[in-house]
Amino acid sequence: MVNKVDHIGIAVKNLNETLKFYEEILGIKCVSTEIVEEQKVKVAFLPIGDTEVELLESTEEDGPIAKFIEKRGEGIQHIAYRVDNIEKAIEELKEKGVRLIDEKPRYGAGGAKIAFLHPKSTFGVLIELCERE
């Protein structure tokens, strides 16, 4: 079902400050940014090999990233795994009794189709399934 780690999502308070660290200290360059209105988030994409880091800054005080930071602080928010067919993966997981946040794919950053699995079914890790063309 899972092909590889697609990306690691990291919740940050200030995208510009965080980018300075990643670019100037770690030498990982941001290739683009995008605002995903539906998720109330601004995303910076930092490729590393065949995966990437996505830095996530909330665009609204009530957005999911803002709520995450308020509860847990900055840090890893989710791990995304690449799948070939997200609809099939969702159906297989439902059949196996996995609790889902998204029972249908939705639009994600970078034009991906995404769906989240509930952390109560994944040993405390927010897992995102990600299909890219």
The separation between the first and the last C-alpha atoms of the chain, rounded to the nearest angstrom, is 16
Beta strands of 13-122 (E only): which ranges? 32-36, 41-48, 51-58, 75-83, 106-107, 113-117
Check the CA dihedral 76-3-84-32 and report its sign.
Answer: positive
**Degrees, nearest 5: CA angle 64-10-24:** 135
Q: Which residues pair with 9 in a beta bridge?
A: 54, 78
pTM: 0.94
pLDDT digit string, tens, across residues 7-49? 999 999 999 999 999 999 999 999 999 999 999 999 999 999 9
pLDDT digit string, tens, across residues 44-71? 999 999 999 999 999 999 999 999 999 9
**Strand, helix or coil for residue 122:** coil
CATH of domain 2-131: 3.10.180.10
Q: Which residues pair with 54 in a beta bridge?
A: 9, 45
Domain ranges of the chain: 2-131
pLDDT digit string, tens, across residues 71-111? 999 999 999 999 999 999 999 999 999 999 999 999 999 99
Q: How far apart are CA 104 and CA 47, in angstroms?
A: 27
